[in-house]
Amino acid sequence: MSETAARALAQMFERMSGVIETEKDHLSELDGAIGDGDHGITMSIGFKAVTAALAALDLDSASPSDVMSTAAGGFLDAVGASTGPLYATGFRRAAQALAGRGHLDLAACRDMLAAMSEGIRDRGKAQRGDKTMLDVWMPAAEAAATAVANGRSKPEFWKAVEIAAENGAAATATMVATKGRAARLRERSLGHTDPGAASAAMLIKAMAAML
């Protein structure tokens, strides 16, 4: 069974990379409004590196945890700054959360989302409301925990996670940036969706579609 789960995760990363590629220009435009305009390129480089690293992995013998740690290494090698260490830490924590688990049941998916969210929070030292990707990952992880606690079905679980992510990304437009380059703009960052939050919602949507 673990081969199946590892393959599902590898396909999830393929899908993430594809979505980022499609939305690359849009993400850079969002970043151009409040940052340095490179977010689409950065994410594209990171996810291409992830899929290249996973292509070299033997998915017949790899565990889900192996897939996540390979993704972490690939992302960090390609993107050393900005989002690089954040996603690398998130993926690495997800690898730890999935260690010894061969199935991607809803409890595993919940734990993976929680680990991603906590890893990004710890590495970035951001709080919720700082207008960052955390404003998407945290509510998505919470929605996952609530869905499992309430015994939701798989489609209900992913729908709840996806909606929480979309709402989280939209909410960043009402927030004043306190982290990163956008923080220099203070109130002028109002009205603009955070590019990292926008891409996080895209990644979670890809996750929901593939898992």
Nearest to 48 by CA among 24, 14, 81, 22: 14
Min separation Cβ 11 and Mg ion, Å: 28
Residues 56-75 that bind Mg ion (CB under 5 A): none
Decide whether 41 or 210 has the Cβ nearer to Mg ion. Answer: 41
Six token digits for residue 100: 């010894």
Q: Identify the DSSP state of 149.
A: H
Min separation Cβ 98 and Mg ion, Å: 30
The separation between the first and the last C-alpha atoms of the chain, rounded to the nearest angstrom, is 14
Nearest to 195 by CA among 78, 32, 48: 32
* Whether 17 contacts 87, CB under 8 Å: no
Residues 176-205 that bind Mg ion (CB under 5 A): none
Region binding Mg ion by CB under 5 A among candidate stretches 38-46, 55-63, 165-173, 182-190: 38-46
Nearby residues of 8 by Cβ (< 8 Å), 6 or more positions away: 104, 210, 211
Decide whether 25 or 36 has the Cβ nearer to Mg ion. Answer: 36
Region binding Mg ion by CB under 5 A among candidate stretches 13-21, 30-38, 45-53, 65-73: 30-38
Min separation Cβ 73 and Mg ion, Å: 22
Binding residue for Mg ion (CB under 5 A) from 3, 14, 29, 38?
38
The residue ranges that bind Mg ion (CB under 5 A) are: 31, 35-36, 38-39
